[in-house]
Every structure is written in structure tokens, then in C-alpha cells.
Structure 1
Amino acid sequence: MKQWERVQTSIPDDIAFKIASLLQVSDVCALGSCCRLWRELWGSDSIWESLAKERWPSLTLFHASSSSSTVINAPISKGWKDFYIKRHKEVAGNATAVAKFVELCSQTESLEVGDHLKAIEDLSTTQLGFKDVQMFLFKPKCNVLLNLVGLHYCIHWLGVPGEYVIEALQSCKISERQVCVKWWKLGRWFYGFRMRDESHSCWVSLADLAMAKEPEVLVVLQRGAIHEVLRVQISVANPTCTPWSCQSTQTQN
């Protein structure tokens, strides 16, 4: 036996397991091409159970709510590696479907808020986790409108703290990408007369949205076209928007 193989074999099982449990999925997969000890760890249910529950935290609730219609059929004590692979493929397919929907609805480089919220609802229905969003929706090659859908989903549906979201945006090199949000509000009543409708626009970066530096924009995106807000539109770029600030004008009724 080679010296390196003797060193690897001499590692106590509990220490080797601890090392493997600290690795990322790609690194764990690489163990499969190593010596017998690491190959056994690569196929360990305990390792893949930990990876699955880290990526999809809601799995920890499945045993207590197995009767729920939205529960994913997760294994209890075995088959976690196969489950992880199957779930990853499902998530990839769901993310691709949402990406195609956003692309179809934004062929003019703008997205109506109803379609924006529909895309987020689809992500929620398929129970994507924070790491799934980073993996599939925070890619620099994705349309910034899809980046925004992922960001909004993480903050309002998953409840991910803003500092974690902005760290992920920076890691994926998309934090400074910008969108222009425009919304039209019903004119206010003044002494029995309704004033002209108001048009608001704001050009803001994904980082600023993650850190809630433009809270009004987040509220508008979350509520959509409702009550006094007649319409909300998100654009990739718009020359009428003023970078880093919001502006409003009155439009003819």
C-alpha cells in the first residue's frame, strides 16, 4: 500500500466524517474518485442527509407535518444521496420554467408587476431554498429581472436577512445591477376634485433593494397594482429614470 493511502486509512472514522460533513456538494462528489475510505463517506446517508437539510431547511419539518399536501417525499433514514440528486433535478427544472416565464413576459425588457409576483409565487409553490436561488437565479448571465425575482423571493417569502442576500449578490457579482421601477398612483382628491394621476419612477440597484435603502420601492413591488396604485412596471433600463433616486410627475387623467 502506498504511503498516502496508509495515511488516509489511518484517519479515525469520526474525524473523516467530520471533515466530509464540512465540504460543499461538489467536494463531496469528488470523494467518489478517491480511496475506499472517502468513497464510503461519499455514499454515506448521514452526509447527504446533512447536505439536503442544509440546502432545503424545510425538510426538517417534514416528519412533523407528513400529512401536508405540499410536503416533498423525503426519505427518513436511507436513500438521501438519491433523494438529493432527484430533488436537485426537480429544482433545476422548476427554476428553468420560471426563467422561461419571465423571459416570455419581458420580451420588451420590461415586466408587469403581476407577472413578477406570479414568478415569485411559482418559486414558493415549488419550495426553492436560498441556495437554489443563488445557484439558478443569481447568475450574471441571467436577465436582471430574473435576478430581482430571486431577490424578492428570498427577502419576502424565505425571510432571508438582507445582509445574507447582499453577500450572495456580491459573491455572484450582480449586486450593482440596476432596474427601473415605475408605478402610477391614483390622483388625490382635493376639495371635491380629483387631481391628476401621479407617475413615480426609481432606478435602483439590487444591493440597495436588498438593504432596503428604497423601502417605498419594496412596498410597491410587494403589494403590486392594488388600491391607489394603478400599475407597476419593472424595466431593465429606462432613460427617464434617475439613478439612485426616485422622482414623481403628474399625468393627465
Structure 2
Amino acid sequence: MMISKCPSLKQWDSIPDDIALNIASFLQVSDICSLGSCSRFWRDLCASDFLWISLSKQRWPSLDFSKIGIVRDYDEESDQQSSLSAKVWRSFYINWHQVMAGRATAIVKFVKQSSRDESLEVGDFLRAIGELCSMEFGFKDVQLFLFTTKQNVLLNLIGLHYSLFWLGVPAEDITEALCSCQISERQVCVRWWKLGRWFHGFRLRDESRLRRVSLSELAISKDEEVMGVLRRGAIHEVLRIQISAESPRTTWAYVHPQG
């Protein structure tokens, strides 16, 4: 019985451009970069706009490329030879990745400065999420910069909340990302104070509630009360909300907004 030999590198280089591009289009960015180091043929092909325009739009779907100087576009029927020789979109992807990395650093710095003893007030929590929205963060950016074990769980939670409610990423995709980044079982403590109820003309003491939940539970909205509190913030009957990375101490003090 004859055993077929694996194709040599030279044989792979003889693949028609359209087939080679189709193969490369199924790869992730890191894989495309690795493939581009195999030979001159693959280097030129993996640098083509045909691939990088798709990668750019997949990563930043809400970004208006015309406002940042990217006016060239290619459709499925465009001339492939022209797209192979152009490298505009690869340069854009690299540069914009660096921009996003800088913006992520600013968010991390803000959260660290705003948190005390690994706890964060809901106003600062929602402000960080608003900043992500204004920065045009995509879900891939969240995974790269916020869904990492080196960041604390408060930043993980900010990325989760932003992805779920602002980007509209399906819960199953977020859960999968949390698991792949090995942070799904991280837990946060959410404590909030509610205005005391009126009873026969007298207002009762303010109430406090506490929940300790994992990121994976929040991703699937298993504790809807906690997610609702985080989304609304301190409004109406909710006087204060505090998010902690550690188990809260019984000595936590509540200070009424009016003194």
C-alpha cells in the first residue's frame, strides 16, 4: 500500500489565489500572521486588503470607516489581483488595534483610581461603560483587554455588562468567551441600599441587600435583580449601589446622600 506524501511548501504556493484567499478567510488574525511567515506567496496573500477589510469590519462593526480616512472598499466581485497588491487595511487594523489598546489602558486606570479596597460605586461603573461606548469598543476588544485574568473582576464585569447590553452580544457567546478566558467562575459582590418603606405614616429604616454572583451567572441573567440594579443605577428608591471584588465586610457603612 502506497502512502501519499504531504504536499511540499512549493506545491502549496501554486494554489490559485481565489482558493488560497478562501482558505485564509477562515483563519483568526494570529493564524493569518503565522501563515504569512511561511513563504513569499503566503506573505503577499495574507497582507491583502481582501482579508483585512473583512477582519476590520468584523472586529469593529459599528465603526464609521469613512470618518477615519478609509474610503476604499472591495466586494466579492472586485479584482483580486488589485486587492492582493494593496495593504491599506492591514495597516489600518494594526494601527487601530494600538489605538484600542491605549483606550483600554485609560479605562483600566480610571477604574483602579475610582475603586477603593477593590470596590466600585455604581456611578463610576456606569461611567466606565459609557466611555467604552464612546470609544467604539468591539466585542473582540473586550476579550483582548478586559476579559483577562490579569485584570480584576470589576473590569471583567464592566466588559461583560457592556457586551451584553450595549453591543447586544448573545449570552451564549459571552459565556463561551468567559470560559475560554478562564474567568467565568470569578465572583462579584453587589450591595445596594433601598429607601425605607412607609408604614402607617412612618418611614421604616433603609433596607440593604447583598448578592454574590459569578460572571457566568450574570452573563445568562440568572440573577435578574442584580442585573436590573446595575443597569438602572442609583435612581428612584435605590439610594446607593456598591460593587466589590471581595466578600463585603459587615462594617460597610452607609452614608445617606443628604448627609
| TM-score (norm: length of structure 2) | 0.85
Equivalent positions of 1:98-113 (< 5 A) are 98-113=107-122
Post-superposition Cα deviations, 1:177-220, rounded to whole Å, max 9, x if no partner, equal 00000000001112221111100110000010001010010011
The amino acid across from 1:76 in the alignment is R
Q: Distance in 1 between matches of 2:40 and 2:25?
A: 17
How far does residue 173 in structure 1 lie from its aligned partner after superposition? 0.6
Task: Tell which deviates more after alignment, 71-80 or 167-176.
Answer: 71-80
Aligned residue for 2:183? 174
How far does residue 94 in structure 1 lie from its aligned partner after superposition? 0.5
SS of 2:169's equivalent in the other structure is: coil
Q: Of residues 15, 26, 39 in structure 2, which corresponds to 1:11?
A: 15
Q: Of residues 127, 130, 134 in structure 2, which corresponds to 1:121?
A: 130
Q: Distance in 2 between matches of 1:137 and 1:16?
A: 34
Aligned residue for 2:159? 150
1:233 lines up with 2:237 in the alignment: no
Aligned residue for 1:209? 218
SS of 1:33's equivalent in the other structure is: coil
Q: Is the 8 A contact 1:94 1:126 kept in 2?
A: yes
Q: Is the 8 A contact 1:75 1:83 kept in 2?
A: no
Q: What's the RMSD between the two structures over aligned residues?
A: 2.1
Larger Rg: 2
Identity %: 59
Q: Of residues 57, 61, 83 in structure 2, which corresponds to 1:53?
A: 57
The amino acid across from 2:16 in the alignment is P
Aligned residue for 1:162? 171
How far does residue 35 in structure 1 lie from its aligned partner after superposition? 1.5
Q: Distance in 1 between matches of 2:203 and 2:142?
A: 44
Q: Distance in 1 between matches of 2:172 and 2:46?
A: 33
- Equivalent pairs, count: 235
Change (3 A) 1:125 1:72: farther
Aligned residue for 1:20? 24
Post-superposition Cα deviations, 1:161-183, rounded to whole Å, max 9, x if no partner, equal 11111110011010000000000
How far does residue 31 in structure 1 lie from its aligned partner after superposition? 3.0
Q: Distance in 2 between matches of 1:48 and 1:34?
A: 18
Post-superposition Cα deviations, 1:73-130, rounded to whole Å, max 9, x if no partner, equal 4342361111101110011011111011111111311000000001101100001000
Q: Structure 1 unaligned runs (5+)?
A: 242-250
